[in-house]
Amino acid sequence: MSRLEELRERIASRRARIGVIGLGYVGLPLGVEFAKAGFEVVGFDLDAQKVRSLDEGHSYIEDVPESDLHEVKAAGRFSATSNFAALTGLDVINICVPTPLTRTRDPDVSHMAAAVEEIRKRLHGGQLIILGSTTYPGTTHELFVQALEETGLTVGTDFSLCFAPERIDPGNERFAVRNVPKVVGGETPLCTELGCAVFETIFDEVVPVSSTQCAEMVKLLENTFRAINIGLANEVALMCQRLGLDVWEVIEAAATKPYGFMKFVPGPGLGGHCIPVDPSYLSWKMKSLDFSARFIELATEINSGMPQHVVDRCAALLNERRLAVNGAQILVIGVAYKKDVGDMRESPALDVIALLAERGADIAYHDPHVREFEVAGQGYKGIELDDNVLHESDLVVILTDHGEIDYERVVRLAPHVFDTRNATASVTTGREKITRL
| Structural domain contains residue 221 | no
| Residue range 319-335, pLDDT digits in tens | 999 999 999 999 999 99
Q: What is the CATH number of the domain that holds 72?
A: 3.40.50.720
The average pLDDT across 400-409 equals 97
Q: Are residues 156 and 304 in the same domain?
A: no
The average pLDDT across 201-214 equals 98
Q: How far apart are CA 292 and CA 88, in angstroms?
A: 43
Q: Are residues 342 and 298 in the same domain?
A: yes
Of 32, 21, 31, 18, nearest to 81 by C-alpha is 21
Q: Are residues 201 and 234 in the same domain?
A: no
Q: What is the chain's mean pLDDT, rounded?
A: 95
* Single residue among 182, 210, 238 that ends a domain in this structure: 210
Where does the pLDDT of residue 241 fall: very low under 50, low under 70, confident under 90, or very high at 90 and above? very high
Q: Are residues 365 and 416 in the same domain?
A: yes
- Number of Cβ within a 10 Å radius of residue 308: 13
The average pLDDT across 157-169 equals 94
Domain that holds residue 260: 230-436
- Cα distances from 231 to residues 196, 240, 295, 296, in angstroms, run 35, 14, 10, 9
| High-pLDDT (> 70) share of the chain, % | 100
Parallel, antiparallel, or unpaired: how do β-strands 17-21 and 182-186 relate? Answer: unpaired
Collapsing DSSP to helix, strand or coil, 366 comes out as strand
| Structural domain contains residue 223 | no
Q: Are residues 261 and 149 in the same domain?
A: no
pLDDT at 275: 82
| Residue range 355-365, pLDDT digits in tens | 999 999 999 99
| Residue range 37-80, pLDDT digits in tens | 999 999 999 999 999 999 999 999 988 999 999 999 999 999 99
Q: Which has more confidence, 107 or 182?
A: 182
How many domains, in total, are found in the chain? 2
Residue length, the chain?
Answer: 437
Q: Are residues 236 and 206 in the same domain?
A: no
Of 270, 263, 262, nearest to 301 by C-alpha is 270
**pLDDT of 177 over the 70 cut:** yes
* Single residue among 210, 245, 280 that ends a domain in this structure: 210
Where does the pLDDT of residue 173 fall: very low under 50, low under 70, confident under 90, or very high at 90 and above? confident
Cα 176 from chain centroid?
A: 14
Q: Are residues 200 and 320 in the same domain?
A: no
- Number of Cβ within a 10 Å radius of residue 428: 8
Q: Are residues 159 and 277 in the same domain?
A: no
The average pLDDT across 192-207 equals 98
* Single residue among 151, 179, 210 that ends a domain in this structure: 210
**pLDDT of 386 over the 80 cut:** yes
**Contact by Cβ (8 Å): 416, 404:** no
- The residues, any chain, with a CB within 8 Å of residue 203's CB and separated by 6 or more, are 177, 178, 180, 181, 182
Q: Are residues 301 and 334 in the same domain?
A: yes
**pLDDT of 317 over the 70 cut:** yes
| Residue range 76-92, pLDDT digits in tens | 999 999 999 999 999 99
Q: Identify any residues that bridge with 94 across adjacent strands, giving them in sequence order.
A: 20, 130
Where does the pLDDT of residue 425 fall: very low under 50, low under 70, confident under 90, or very high at 90 and above? very high
**pLDDT of 1 over the 70 cut:** no
| Structural domain contains residue 218 | no
Q: Are residues 166 and 252 in the same domain?
A: no
| Residue range 122-135, pLDDT digits in tens | 999 999 999 999 89
| Residue range 261-303, pLDDT digits in tens | 999 999 999 988 778 888 888 999 999 999 999 999 999 999 9
Q: Are residues 265 and 328 in the same domain?
A: yes
Catalytic residue positions, numbered: 274
| Structural domain contains residue 111 | yes
Sheet containing strand 182-186, strands side by side: 78-81, 40-44, 17-21, 92-95, 128-131, 160-163, 182-186, 206-209
| Structural domain contains residue 215 | no
Of 425, 109, 420, 155, nearest to 284 by C-alpha is 109
**Contact by Cβ (8 Å): 143, 111:** no
Rg of the chain on CA atoms, in Å: 24
- The residues, any chain, with a CB within 8 Å of residue 154's CB and separated by 6 or more, are none
**Contact by Cβ (8 Å): 344, 431:** no
| Structural domain contains residue 184 | yes
Helices (H) and strands (E) in the chain, counts: 15, 15
| Structural domain contains residue 216 | no
pLDDT at 343: 92
Q: Are residues 381 and 280 in the same domain?
A: yes
Where does the pLDDT of residue 100 fall: very low under 50, low under 70, confident under 90, or very high at 90 and above? confident
pLDDT at 116: 97
| Structural domain contains residue 49 | yes
Q: How far apart are CA 327 and CA 359, in angstroms?
A: 9
